[in-house]
Structure 1
Amino acid sequence: MLMQPKKRLVEIKGLSEAKIDKLVEASRNACPNFGIMSARDFEGQRQRQIVHISTGCQALDELLGGGIESKAITEIFGEWRTGKTQLCHTLCVTTQMGEGLAAGRVAYFDTEGTFRPERIRPIAERFNLDGDAVLSNVLYARAYTFEQQYDLLEPLAAKMAEEPFKLLIMDSIAANMRVDYSGRGELAERQQKLGLLMNRMRKLADEFNIAILITNQVISDPSGGAMFVVDPKKPVGGHVMAHASTIRLSVRKGKAEQRLMKVVDAPNLAEAEASYAISGQGIIDYKD
């Protein structure tokens, strides 16, 4: 109730403005954390609520301050064969390893048809978990359009209100968007829809204390040929994506089996990078 603008609530049949005002006031009284508080109180609140989900790789966990953070949207972008989807598969397992607040179910929205349940089993074995039990705790949905990606969030929110979820994965956020809104004339509408999707996910992260991981594609940067430009590629989504993501991570290929993850933008992490590798049992530490 408190996360919705009044103009959206008015659209609900049977709710007058006067009734909405009463409901909002009652919601404020029931949720004191939505009011003004000291930074010290806010720090204590975060310390009690925030959890980190292990990536399965010690070097990456150290880079990320413990792993993928809850109440945040973490974006990972990079070229193909850099391990983005493999990290998603690994997180399906590691999310279920903790206890209490640190453990929960996973929702996996697949837009590219790359989710493979058979990959989950060897990763589960690595962490001494039952493959069937792990797969039963992963809620899967295939999204064929950008609209479906948004529409799937409503039934997911209903499930989150009933069951303990800890992670939402969207792999990838850009695939459908680039097809459904391909022309320059549709750019403004595309960015508006993207903003709505990111905003909805951010509210889910806050409301249910879940971590959200989105993978993103990269495109050639028109200024990539200019002098001093280190990387001629940039993530899809422009400024809307850049501002809506809490943590932005880039991944790239290194030498041989080495892959590198770099913190591009984060409110509480230093700009640094770490190595990792892809194995038959998920994401692991890279050994030179």
Structure 2
Amino acid sequence: MSNATESQTTITAGRGILERVLFSTVTTLPCCVFLIINGAMLFTLRSKTVFCETSRYILLYNLLFADTAVLAQSQLLYLLAAFRIRLTYPVCGVLTMLASLTTAISPLTLVVMSLERYVAVCYPLRHATIITIRNTRKAIFGIWAFSSLNVLARILLLLDFPFQDLENLQMIEYCARENLLLEPVSDLYDKVYTSFLFVSASVIITFSYIGVMVAARSASTDKASARKARNTLLLHLVQLGLSLLSTMSNQLFVVISKVLSKIAVVRIQIVVYVCIIIFPRCLSALIYGIRDQTIRPVLIYHLCFQLV
């Protein structure tokens, strides 16, 4: 009886390890492919003077840099959780704070890019004086400063927790942002900040879209330019929606875990992780790499060079 029980335990453990390896491979492969694509796109945006001296390409570089950092950090945290590697609170805190910094960069950059398209269509004669390289760099600095203040607030809330009362600093759960919301006020701050960020971004991008739609009906507006800007703003709304879904996914899984079995929840998590966390981080590279006539040939050249 004892041997049968030990054999069953060994088989179960073996299946668990095999499943973790399989799931990790399923997520790591597309992640590596997207990192290569994003890397090629980042290199492309620094390969020619026109990309370094055009505001929308500078903003695109900032967006891609943040998305690439989030992609790498998300996969690292996923692998640590998949193989049940528990970190200490300080190490996990550093990783999650870096993730919080770069995660907020994407929606804020999408807002500035949407406003740039709005000005280009609605105020074409003033575009060159408003959207300058200097103003673009100021906007990027403001984005990083705002995100850094958010991280500083999170650090202060985290430090308010009485870690000295713990036996050790080893985490009980896997490393994730949600597992560092140790106080009710931290959880409240996280919800308020996330809601404010995405509601504000949605309102501004929607306003820009409506403005472009109204301008497109004007006889003096370039119809082709307005149509292209409208499609770009729609894609930005999609990207923003996917970012919001990725932020809300953990709360959704808490509800699902009460209804479905643990293995079913894990499998759903894998699909959701690939679809709304990994894939959206490569969406900008794919969108601009395919649609932009200036970027496309250079990007294809660099991609082919990397893959050979």
TM band (smaller chain): under 0.3
Identify, as 1 or 2, the structure richer in strand: 1
Q: TM-score when scaled to structure 1?
A: 0.26
Identify, as 1 or 2, the structure richer in helix: 2
